[in-house]
Amino acid sequence: MNELLLVLFVFAAVAMVVWAFAAALGGAASRRLRSRLDALSDSEETEQSISAIRARYLRQLSPFERQLEQLPGMEAFGRLVEQAGWIVPAYRVATLSLGLAGAAAVVSLLLTRNLLIVLPVTAFIAGLPLFKARADRASRLEKFEAQLPDALDLMSRSLRAGNPLMESFKFVSEEMKPPIAAEFGRAWSNVNYGVSLKVSLADFLERTPSVSLRSLATAILVQRETGGNLAEILDKITQVLRARAKFQRRLKTLTAEGRLSGWVLGALPLVLAGVISLTSPTYLPMLLTDPTGIRLVWSCLMLMAFGLFWISRIVKIQV
C-alpha cells in the first residue's frame, strides 16, 4: 500500500509540473496582451470611480443588506453575478447557497449518517448556484463575443454618417439584441449622466470581461488622445474579431474528439458499476463496506477527477 501511495504521489507531482510548464508557455501571449491593455485602460481615477459606483449601489440597500454585501468575498461574487446577467443582489444568491447546503446536510445525514457522504454532497449542493453563475457568465460572454463584430459594423456606419461616438453606442443599444444591447445602452446612459467616457468604458469592462471589448475600449481611448479615423479602426478590429471567431470554430471542431473522449472515459466507470450492480448485486457492496475497498473507491475517484481535469486542460486552447 505504501508503494502504491508513493507511485501515485510521484505521478501527481510530475503531472502538475508538466501542466504548470505547459500552462506558462501557452498563456504567456494572452497574459502579455491583457497586461498591455490593462496598462492603457486602467488608472487610479478609474478605480476610484468604479468604487464610487459600488458605494452608490450600497447606499440604496437597507443597513442589514449593506452589511451582507460588505462581507469578505461578496464584492467579487457580486461581480460574477452581474457578469452572469442575473438581476438579483449577490447576498441573495449567497443566502440561497447556504440554505441549499443546510438542507442537503440535514437530508443526507438522516439518510446515510456517514460524514464521508454528507460532506461532499453538501459541498456540491452549496456550489450549485456558483456553478450556474459561472456557466451563465460563460454563455453570456460567448454570445456577446458573437454579437460584437456586428455591433462594430453598426458603430462604423454610424460614425461615417456623421454621428458622434456615444450616438453610435445608442444606435447599437436600439438595433441589437441582448446582452450587447443592454451593455452598450448602459455605457451610453452613464456618459449622459455625467460619467467620463474612460470611467464608463472601465465599468463596461467590469461587467463584461472580454478581451475583444478591452481591445475596443483601448482603441477608443487611444484614438481620443492621438486622433485618427475611428471608423477605419473599428473596421480593422471587426476583421480581426471575425477571423478570430472563424479560427475558434475550427479549433472547436478539431478538439471535439478530445472532449468526447473525456465524456466517455468519465461516464464509463459509472455505467459499468451500474451494470455490474444489476447483473451481480453481491459483487460491488464489499467496496463500500470494507475499509480497503472504501480507500480504493476514493483513490479511483480522485484519479478520475485528475484525469478529466487533465483532458479539459489539453482540449482548452486559449486564442
Q: Which residue has the cell 456586428?
A: 150
Is the domain covering 141-244 a CATH 3.30.565.10 domain?
no
What per-residue confidence (pLDDT) applies to 34?
Answer: 52
Q: What is the mean pLDDT of residues 3-22?
A: 48
Domain residue spans in the chain? 141-244, 255-319
Percent of all residues in the chain with a pLDDT value above 90, rounded to a whole number: 0
Mean pLDDT of the chain: 75
Query: pLDDT at residue 287 above 50?
Result: yes
Higher model confidence: residue 146 or residue 24? Answer: 146
Cell digits for 303? 484519479
**Separation between Cα atoms, residue 231 and residue 246, nearest integer Å:** 23
Using CA atoms of 134, 29, 149, 213 in order, give the dihedral in degrees to the nearest 10. 60
pLDDT in tens, 55-68: 555 555 566 566 66
Helix (H, G, I), strand (E, B) or coil at 225: helix
List of residues 6+ apart from 289 with CB closer than 8 A: none
User: Which of 52, 36, 55 lies closest to 44, judged by CA?
Assistant: 52
With cut-offs at 50, 70 and 90, classify the pLDDT of residue 22: very low
pLDDT in tens, 112-136: 777 767 788 888 888 888 888 888 8
Q: How many other β-carbons are positioned within 10 Å of the β-carbon of residue 197?
A: 17
Q: What is the mean pLDDT of residues 5-31?
A: 48
User: Which of 175, 84, 250, 256 lies closest to 242, judged by CA?
Assistant: 250
What per-residue confidence (pLDDT) applies to 6?
Answer: 47
Q: What is the mean pLDDT of residues 244-271?
A: 81
CA–chain centroid gap for 156, Å, is 30
Cell digits for 139? 454563455
